[in-house]
Structure 1
Amino acid sequence: MAENTAAPAPAKKGKLKLIIMLVVIIVLAVALSVAGTLWFLGGGLPGGGEGEQQASPAEPAFVASSYIDLERPLVTTVQAQGRQRYAQVHLSLEAPDPAALAAAETHMPLIRSQLVMVLGNSEFNELQTPEGRSTLAEQLLATVNQVLEEEGEPSIKRVLFRNFVVQ
């Protein structure tokens, strides 16, 4: 038998080097792309102190509102073309400061009295329109804030209708 005495062919190291070089180039391209995108969007490069200093004073802190419900509805009569009609309104008060709601709770008898007077002075036809209800909400807010201001307390943000019935 004839033996193959020829030396084995050396392994092709050129292909392995080519594959490693391509992987390194692709990883570098991705890294540069991410860094460039961050830089163009104004975020700065990661670890750079400039972007962190600029972003912190720009955003104000979020303050969640608190609410209280008036337990009993406001019920009163309203005028409608010479006839008496009834209005029943369930209200909630909104404020970012819980101290304002605590003050409103403390002065609730005075606030309810003033709110019933404002509601009683309303016109029936106006209360049937969305614009009239919006105007009434603004009047009720002004009334509540006026009472709280007279008592030296912080003001509330909004008066919300939970239920609104006129008949």
Structure 2
Amino acid sequence: MAEDNSVAGPPKKGKFKTILLLVIILVLAIGLSVAGTLWFLTRGGEGNPAAPAAAEEEAFVPASYLVMERPLVTTVRHPGRQRYIQVYLAFESEQADALAAAEKHMPLVRNRLISELGQQEFMVLQTPEGRQGLPDQLLAAVNETLAAEGEPTLDRVLLRNFVVQ
């Protein structure tokens, strides 16, 4: 058979060099971004010594709750037919003594809440805005009652169940 005596051209090295150069650039870019991120993270902690002290001063204080087991039931204002409201409430505070004061004065607080609920308009309570504004009105009434007794005030009044008919 005939032998192939033709001279082969030089092998193509251009593609291999280009791929190798791109891989090296990519690895360097990734390494520099990781190093830069670590540098900024460690420098941020050292450069601001007041940040850890502020975090320690503002320690998280979990809220405590006082749940009213019995519902508040009363009539609401509505022309014509008589309408009722039934509300289950809970009180929230970060101060345990405020919850203890609310529990101590619970008959007075219940009376004030029933009076406040009795002054509500039925049609207003049917709207989302009326339902959302009710806890704020109840909170103001409870805090006014507790302040009159010289006790600390609560943070929030929570509606556990709310029925108007």
The reply to whether TM is greater than 0.5 is yes
Code of the residue aligned with 2:43 in structure 1: it is G
User: How far 1:33 moved relative to its partner?
Assistant: 6.7
- Equivalence map 1:134-149=2 (5 Å): 134-149=132-147
Code of the residue aligned with 1:56 in structure 2: it is P
Q: 2:105 maps to which residue?
A: 107
Q: 1:44 maps to which residue?
A: 43
**Does the alignment pair 1:54 with 2:54?**
no
- Equivalence map 1:1-167=2 (5 Å): 36-41=36-41, 43-44=42-43, 50-51=47-48, 53-59=49-55, 60-167=58-165
User: How far 1:65 moved relative to its partner?
Assistant: 0.4
Code of the residue aligned with 1:55 in structure 2: it is A
User: How far 1:133 moved relative to its partner?
Assistant: 1.3
TM-score, normalised relative to structure 1: 0.72
TM-score, normalised relative to structure 2: 0.73
Q: After TM superposition, what 4+ stretches of structure 1 lie above 3 angstroms from structure 2?
A: 32-36, 48-51
**Which has a greater percent of helix?**
2
Query: What is the rounded CA distance, in whole Å, between the counterparts of 1:149 and 1:84 in structure 2?
Result: 33
Unaligned runs of 5+ in 1: 1-25
Identity fraction in percent: 59
Code of the residue aligned with 2:114 in structure 1: it is V
SS of aligned partner of 1:104: helix
Query: What is the rounded CA distance, in whole Å, between the counterparts of 1:101 and 1:108 in structure 2?
Result: 10
SS of aligned partner of 1:83: coil
SS of aligned partner of 1:44: helix
SS of aligned partner of 2:154: coil
Query: What is the rounded CA distance, in whole Å, between the counterparts of 1:103 and 1:39 in structure 2?
Result: 52
Query: What is the rounded CA distance, in whole Å, between the counterparts of 2:71 and 2:106 in structure 1?
Result: 13
User: How far 1:49 moved relative to its partner?
Assistant: 5.3
User: How far 1:83 moved relative to its partner?
Assistant: 2.2
User: How far 1:139 moved relative to its partner?
Assistant: 0.8
CA-based RMSD of the aligned residues comes to 2.3
- How many residue pairs were aligned? 135
User: How far 1:36 moved relative to its partner?
Assistant: 3.8
Query: What is the rounded CA distance, in whole Å, between the counterparts of 1:38 and 1:44 in structure 2?
Result: 8
